[in-house]
């Protein structure tokens, strides 16, 4: 276990380093520049532009900029957003929680639904439940999430005036308010995830049902429930959990559309705005943040993995 | 529950099982009847596809979801299981029927501790008392060392033998009336098989359990069962007491099967076999299903399915002819004797391949200090030109790795291989491509070693292109190859899956021959074939060896086959060759105690011999190859080593050399051992 963690940490460090280089280079390859956006392309004199670049250290050689960034990162300083003047960490602190909560809730909720639905479909293979769940999965994963989002908005928020149409309330403003604001975006996001994970659960359970050890369990005279929980579902969950972890990371940084539809100030919008603005420090900081998140999640998934599957542990 | 020993415990009547296929239901078991009496051991023997396992699983109501009992009854103590509802069935599984399967790695739940897998069954059936204690007791009773520690291990952490002991503990946990075992020792090495056979015999008696054992291995049946049921193409063709059936079979199939089994205690130089192959379920003959292969069939045989008729008070067989089985056996024996009288024992000292200090190690696990597994550890071996050399050993002994090194599929770390006086040493390796012009491999499973999307012609043509045969000469050579392996020209356009296992292996052999190699390495090439067709392929290899002057390295765990085809035999243990001698000498008077134990562990298809034979059961498992014992690697299991004779320190301290001029066995006490044996017998 100790070597496993050590190996993961080394891998994480290398991964993050590569990520900083790639982000740094990519950001600078973007056409246009922050002064173009801020000062306009024709208004400012070259002197003003020079002064602006000098102020933010953008006239330094690229390598110097990079080392400076890394040096401050190592001291826990993510830099300062050019656009807002706030520190990147503050920006992340105010925007990231909404996205992370929405993404986590969506992944957890769809995981639970998928396991139930996928198992039911596998156990009643080619029967009504299976066909319906297949159909629902295909629809769920092919309809874009903003369409689902808009539909939900129109129905529940506009027509029935039952839920708020937009915004995000932190949990400090009350559990009920918090939940009310989250319900629609989480649902919109979940539908596609349920589609993917239900199919995966179904095929995984079907494969397990064919395995010899399930026949052994039946031959031991165990109850149907015991066979399902301990001998079928548990071993079937392993690939589903891996996928859920990957989806969690993908969804956290990629819920831009849903954030727009529901007017939630989240991580996706933060990054999109930063890119439009060529706000280099902000883009770099946000991407790095998602990178760290990805590593934390994957370590977590590995831990769950090793609890579920002893064969992984003894490696 | 009745305790009347004269009333059958299990009564199977007209059992029919059908599988769902693309073309509707397909019957695979066509009306099987048999009885099992309390406390007895019944063997069901047959070849693959005969339906023997299906019968067993149907009797236990554990058929896969695509199969179902279409007719008949399975009465356990008067209760019909065939029509029982799932809820009641749960009370039968465990306390009344215990199940034992072939592949314990797959039959146990990989993500649950083995102790829990037994304990949950105790709980499901309302066991009162300390379950943990009971599990430990059960584990101890089946010979699991350190049972307290083992209960919290997972299946993959145990050796194959230990896992099969866990399965046995599981199947007997609730002292069932009936134990149903499906090929319980097939996946095990012979020395471990011997341990499990002993265990099964004693445990069944201890628990008063009647046993039904399904096996393709007539030796296992002879060893374990007092009654035997022979099935062929989904029907019972003969049944009766094992002694009587084995000594005097009545059905031609039984007689032929018994003759075709390569026995470790008799040496021929070819193997008898039954022409043809069993019928496919969708193409069953109208009459007797063995008729197309039967050498004594008459026209009446193909009109109706022969009914089982009585032969004496306790035997039955399904053949309309009387007293023909003997002639079948005689004919089969004769076919072998005329086939190769006085095989040319290759006495020449002309070496084709000289192997010196060959070593191949693999790093296992992760990390800088990961252990090294020396699969082949300093092997010296000379393969003589034109000989048929058998290479035997248990799984993990390195025999396959050695074979792969000889065909350039793997690279040695140290040592050299000299082909025809041209060296391919570890440092200065001849390219694998060059090596493969010289030596070719035939693998175990032809279906997976052939590309399923390439026709036979494409396979052979590819090999010929590789061999550098000009386009103009290819077709002629192609036909020549087909002829050599005994395939019809019509085979060319067909795909591998259209052939039976034996026929597909012929394609693999033809492909190997395409480059006109000097050496063929056959790695378990007949191990997955049925007894009745095994001989076809072995004899083909033997014929090719003689006709083309080939040299064959025949790698196998099956000592019976090796005994009957090889000129010389090399025995491997933990990466080293420990004995190398002429076949008959080695099998009659082995010089190495391991060789002797190995031979004595193989059951022979003769219940009388099985009862009389003194078996040397080795203790424990093969040691972990990444941490081999010091000195002689066999000493921790050796029946004549320091275990028995504490003064033999040398076994622990010094590794014995293989002295080819003397005893030809790598044992410090080989000569003493040989003398003891000669004295004892």
The β-bridge partners of B316 are B239, B310
pLDDT band at B289 (very low <50, low <70, confident <90, very high): very high
d(CA B461, CA B484): 16
Say if residue A314's pLDDT is above 60.
no
% of chain B exceeding 70 in pLDDT: 94
Closest partner CB to B107 (pick from A209, A212, A230): A212
Say if residue B170's pLDDT is above 80.
yes
My answer on whether B296 and B206 are in the same domain is: no
Say if residue A236's pLDDT is above 80.
yes
Select from B308, B339, B370 the last residue of a domain: B339
* Strands B372-384 and B388-392, sheet pairing: unpaired
Select from B243, B276, B294 the last residue of a domain: B243
pLDDT at B641: 85
My answer on whether B319 and B439 are in the same domain is: no
Tell me if B454 sits within 8 A of B446, measured CB to CB.
Answer: no
The whole-chain average pLDDT of chain B stands at 88
pLDDT at B2: 47
pLDDT at B520: 95
My answer on whether B384 and B304 are in the same domain is: no
My answer on whether A119 and A254 are in the same domain is: yes
Select from B588, B621, B638 the last residue of a domain: B588
Domain annotation covers residue B162: no
My answer on whether B571 and B468 are in the same domain is: yes
Number of compact structural domains in chain A: 2
- Span B587-593, average pLDDT: 91
Domain annotation covers residue A267: yes
pLDDT band at B287 (very low <50, low <70, confident <90, very high): very high
Please report, to the nearest 10 degrees, the dihedral formed by the alpha carbons of residues B137, B141, B147, B150 taken in order: -110
The whole-chain average pLDDT of chain A stands at 86
| Sign of the CA dihedral with B101 first, then B105, B109, and B112 last | positive
Number of compact structural domains in chain B: 3
- Span A34-59, average pLDDT: 80
pLDDT at B342: 43
pLDDT band at B1 (very low <50, low <70, confident <90, very high): very low
d(CA B381, CA B418): 10
d(CA B297, CA B291): 6
My answer on whether B224 and B280 are in the same domain is: no
Closest-CA residue of A relative to B113 is: A310
pLDDT at B340: 47
Domain annotation covers residue A309: no
- Span B289-300, average pLDDT: 92
pLDDT at A148: 82
Asked if A314 reaches chain B (Cβ–Cβ under 8 Å), the answer is: yes
Say if residue A45's pLDDT is above 90.
no
Residues B269, B275, B277, CA angle at the centre, nearest 5°?
120
pLDDT at B345: 53
Mutation pick from A211, A216, A305 vs chain B, by most beta carbons of B within 10 Å, is A216
Domain annotation covers residue A315: no
Residue B428 sits in a domain of what CATH number? Answer: 3.40.50.300
- Span B85-111, average pLDDT: 93
Give the helix/strand (H/E) hosting B414: strand B414-419
Binary contact (A211, B91; C-beta < 8 A): no
Binary contact (B106, A211; C-beta < 8 A): yes
Residues B472, B550, B461, CA angle at the centre, nearest 5°?
25
Please report, to the nearest 10 degrees, the dihedral formed by the alpha carbons of residues B350, B352, B353, B354 taken in order: 20
- Compute φ and ψ for A23, nearest 5 degrees: -60, -45
More confident residue, B156 or B613: B156
Domain annotation covers residue B360: yes
pLDDT at B5: 65
Binary contact (A221, B121; C-beta < 8 A): yes
pLDDT at A315: 47
The β-bridge partners of B416 are B356, B425
Six-digit token pair at B517?
A: 């190699």
Six-digit token pair at B225?
A: 């069962």
My answer on whether B406 and B323 are in the same domain is: no
pLDDT at B368: 61
Q: A19: closest CA among A288, A275, A238, A239?
A: A288
d(CA B433, CA B443): 18
Residues 6+ apart with CB under 8 A from A1: A313
Range of the domain at B296: 248-339
pLDDT at B110: 92
pLDDT at B42: 97
My answer on whether B213 and B260 are in the same domain is: no
CA distance A209 to chain B (A): 10
Domain annotation covers residue A65: yes
Residues 6+ apart with CB under 8 A from A138: A195
Tell me if B387 sits within 8 A of B553, measured CB to CB.
Answer: no
The β-bridge partners of B384 are B351
* Strands B422-425 and B97-100, sheet pairing: unpaired
My answer on whether A46 and A104 are in the same domain is: no
Tell me if A286 sits within 8 A of A270, measured CB to CB.
Answer: yes
Domain annotation covers residue B621: no
Closest-CA residue of B relative to A237 is: B111
Asked if A127 reaches chain B (Cβ–Cβ under 8 Å), the answer is: no
Domain annotation covers residue A210: yes
My answer on whether B316 and B442 are in the same domain is: no
More confident residue, A249 or B662: A249
Residue A236 sits in a domain of what CATH number? Answer: 1.10.3720.10
pLDDT at B606: 92
Residues of B with CB under 8 A from a CB of A: 60, 62, 64-65, 86, 89-95, 97, 99, 101, 103, 106-112, 120-121, 124-125, 154, 156-157, 170, 365-367
My answer on whether A166 and A211 are in the same domain is: yes
Range of the domain at A55: 2-74
pLDDT band at A269 (very low <50, low <70, confident <90, very high): confident
pLDDT at B678: 59
My answer on whether B466 and B381 are in the same domain is: yes
Residues 6+ apart with CB under 8 A from B200: B168, B181, B184, B211, B213, B224
Q: B12: closest CA among B57, B76, B62?
A: B76
Residue B589: how many CA atoms within 13 Å on its side-chain side? 15
My answer on whether A227 and A116 are in the same domain is: yes
Say if residue A109's pLDDT is above 90.
yes
My answer on whether A261 and A116 are in the same domain is: yes
My answer on whether A58 and A145 are in the same domain is: no
My answer on whether A225 and A104 are in the same domain is: yes
Domain annotation covers residue A229: yes
CA distance A39 to chain B (A): 56
d(CA B671, CA B593): 11
My answer on whether A40 and A110 are in the same domain is: no
My answer on whether A139 and A270 are in the same domain is: yes
> Which residues of chain A make contact with B107, given a CB cutoff of 8 A?
212-213, 215-216
- Compute φ and ψ for A153, nearest 5 degrees: -60, -50
User: What is the SS3 assignment for B615?
Assistant: coil
Binary contact (B124, A315; C-beta < 8 A): no
CA distance B366 to chain A (A): 8
* Strand locations in B65-159 (E): 67-76, 79-80, 97-100
- Span A181-188, average pLDDT: 86
d(CA B629, CA B609): 35
My answer on whether B178 and B297 are in the same domain is: no
Closest-CA residue of B relative to A221 is: B90
- Indicate the angle between helix axes B471-485 and B531-548, nearest 10 degrees: 130
My answer on whether B405 and B475 are in the same domain is: yes
pLDDT tens readout for residues B443-457:
988 888 899 899 999
My answer on whether A152 and A33 are in the same domain is: no
Domain annotation covers residue A89: no
d(CA B163, CA B154): 10
My answer on whether B367 and B514 are in the same domain is: yes
pTM over 0.95: no
pLDDT tens readout for residues B332-388:
888 776 544 445 555 566 889 999 999 998 887 666 667 788 889 999 999 999 999
Binary contact (B103, A234; C-beta < 8 A): no
> Which residues of chain B make contact with A209, given a CB cutoff of 8 A?
65
My answer on whether A102 and A59 are in the same domain is: no
Domain annotation covers residue A307: no
- Span B389-401, average pLDDT: 91
pLDDT at A223: 94
Tell me if A170 sits within 8 A of A197, measured CB to CB.
Answer: no
Give the helix/strand (H/E) hosting A304: helix A280-308
Binary contact (B94, A308; C-beta < 8 A): no
Place of tokens 């007017």: A263
The CA-atom distances, in angstroms, between A131 and each of A124, A125, A142 are: 9, 8, 17
My answer on whether A27 and A174 are in the same domain is: no
Closest partner CB to B121 (pick from A215, A222, A311): A222
């Amino acid at each position: 276990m100790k070597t496993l963690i050590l190996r993961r940490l080394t891998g994480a460090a290398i991964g993050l380093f590569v990520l900083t280089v790639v982000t740094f280079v990519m950001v600078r390859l973007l056409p246009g520049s922050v002064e173009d956006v801020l000062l306009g392309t024709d208004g400012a004199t070259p002197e003003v532009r020079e002064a602006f670049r000098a102020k933010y250290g953008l006239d330094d050689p690229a390598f110097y900029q990079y080392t400076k960034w890394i040096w401050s990162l190592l001291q826990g300083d993510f830099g300062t957003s050019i656009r807002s003047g706030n520190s990147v960490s503050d920006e992340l602190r105010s925007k990231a929680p909404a996205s992370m909560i929405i993404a986590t809730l969506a992944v957890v909720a769809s995981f639970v639904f998928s396991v139930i639905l996928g198992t039911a479909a596998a156990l009643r293979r080619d029967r009504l439940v299976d066909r319906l769940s297949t159909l629902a999965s295909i629809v769920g994963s092919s309809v874009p999430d903003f369409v689902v989002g808009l539909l939900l908005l129109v129905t529940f928020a506009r027509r029935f005036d039952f839920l708020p149409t937009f915004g995000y309330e932190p949990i400090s403003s009350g559990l009920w308010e918090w939940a009310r604001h989250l319900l629609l975006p989480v649902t919109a996001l979940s539908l596609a995830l349920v589609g993917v994970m239900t199919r995966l659960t179904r095929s995984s359970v079907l494969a397990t049902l064919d395995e010899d050890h399930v026949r052994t369990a039946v031959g031991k005279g165990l109850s149907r429930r015991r066979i399902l929980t301990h001998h079928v579902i548990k071993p079937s969950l392993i690939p589903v959990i891996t996928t859920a972890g990957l989806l969690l990371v993908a969804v956290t940084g990629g819920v831009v559309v849903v954030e727009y539809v529901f007017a939630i100030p989240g991580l996706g919008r933060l990054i999109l705005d930063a890119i439009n603005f060529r706000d280099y420090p902000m883009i770099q900081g946000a991407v790095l943040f998602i990178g760290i998140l990805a590593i934390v999640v994957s370590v977590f998934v590995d831990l769950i993995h090793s609890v579920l599957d002893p064969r992984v542990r003894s490696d | 529950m009745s305790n009347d020993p004269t009333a059958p415990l299990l009564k199977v009547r007209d059992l029919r099982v059908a599988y769902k296929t693309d073309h509707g239901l397909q019957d695979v078991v066509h009306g099987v009847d048999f009885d099992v009496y309390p406390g007895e051991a019944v063997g069901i023997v047959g070849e693959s596809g005969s339906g023997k396992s299906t019968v067993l699983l149907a009797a236990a109501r554990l058929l896969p979801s695509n199969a179902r009992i279409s007719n008949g009854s399975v009465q356990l103590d008067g209760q019909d299981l065939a029509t029982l509802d799932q809820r009641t069935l749960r009370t039968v599984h465990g306390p009344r029927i215990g199940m034992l399967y072939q592949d314990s790695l797959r039959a146990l739940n990989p993500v649950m501790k083995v102790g829990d897998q037994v304990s949950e069954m105790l709980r499901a059936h309302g066991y009162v008392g300390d379950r943990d204690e009971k599990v430990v007791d059960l584990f101890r009773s089946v010979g699991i060392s350190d049972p307290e520690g083992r209960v919290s291990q997972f299946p993959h952490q145990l050796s194959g033998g230990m896992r099969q002991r866990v399965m046995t503990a599981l199947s007997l946990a609730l002292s069932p009336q009936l134990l149903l075992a499906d090929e319980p020792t097939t996946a095990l090495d012979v020395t471990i098989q011997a341990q499990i056979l002993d265990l099964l015999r004693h445990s069944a008696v201890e628990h008063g359990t009647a046993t039904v054992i399904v096996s393709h291995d007539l030796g296992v049946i002879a060893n374990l069962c007092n009654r035997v049921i022979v099935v062929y193409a989904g029907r019972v063709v003969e049944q009766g007491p094992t002694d009587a059936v084995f000594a005097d079979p009545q059905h031609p199939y039984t007689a032929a099967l018994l003759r075709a089994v390569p026995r470790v205690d008799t040496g021929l130089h070819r193997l008898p076999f039954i022409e043809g192959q069993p019928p496919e379920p969708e193409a069953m003959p109208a009459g007797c299903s063995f008729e197309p292969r039967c050498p004594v069939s008459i026209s009446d045989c193909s009109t109706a399915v022969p009914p089982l008729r009585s032969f004496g008070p306790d035997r039955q067989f399904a053949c309309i002819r009387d007293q023909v089985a003997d002639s079948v056996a005689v004919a089969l024996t004769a076919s072998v004797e005329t086939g190769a009288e006085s095989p040319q024992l290759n006495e020449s000292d002309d070496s084709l391949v000289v192997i010196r200090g060959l070593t191949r190690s693999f790093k296992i696990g992760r990390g800088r200090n990961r252990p090294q597994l020396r699969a082949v550890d300093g092997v010296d071996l000379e393969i003589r030109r034109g000989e048929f050399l058998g290479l035997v050993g248990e799984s993990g002994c390195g025999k396959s790795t050695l074979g792969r090194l000889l065909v350039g599929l793997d690279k040695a770390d140290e040592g050299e291989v000299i082909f025809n006086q041209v060296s391919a040493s570890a440092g200065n390796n001849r390219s694998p491509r060059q090596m493969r012009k010289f030596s070719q491999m035939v693998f175990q499973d032809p279906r997976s070693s052939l590309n399923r999307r390439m026709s036979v012609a494409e396979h052979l043509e590819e090999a010929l292109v590789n061999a550098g045969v000009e386009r103009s000469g290819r077709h002629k050579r192609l036909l020549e190859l087909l002829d050599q392996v005994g395939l019809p020209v019509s085979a060319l356009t067909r795909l591998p899956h259209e052939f039976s296992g034996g026929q597909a292996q012929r394609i693999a052999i033809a492909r190997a021959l395409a480059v006109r190699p000097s050496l063929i390495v056959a790695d378990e090439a007949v191990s997955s074939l049925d007894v009745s067709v095994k001989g076809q392929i072995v004899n083909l290899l033997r014929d090719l060896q003689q006709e083309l002057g080939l040299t064959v390295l025949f790698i196998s765990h099956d000592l019976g086959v090796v005994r009957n085809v090889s000129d010389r035999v090399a025995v491997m243990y933990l990466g080293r060759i420990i004995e190398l001698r002429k076949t008959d000498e080695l099998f009659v008077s082995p010089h190495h105690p391991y060789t002797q134990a190995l031979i004595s562990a193989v059951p022979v298809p003769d219940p009388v011999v099985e009862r009389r034979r003194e078996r040397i059961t080795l203790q424990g498992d093969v040691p972990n190859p990444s941490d081999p014992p010091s000195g002689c690697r066999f000493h921790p299991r050796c029946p004549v080593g320091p275990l028995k004779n504490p003064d033999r320190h040398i076994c622990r301290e010094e590794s014995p050399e293989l002295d080819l001029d003397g005893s030809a066995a790598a044992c410090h006490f080989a000569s003493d051992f040989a003398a003891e044996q000669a004295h004892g017998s």
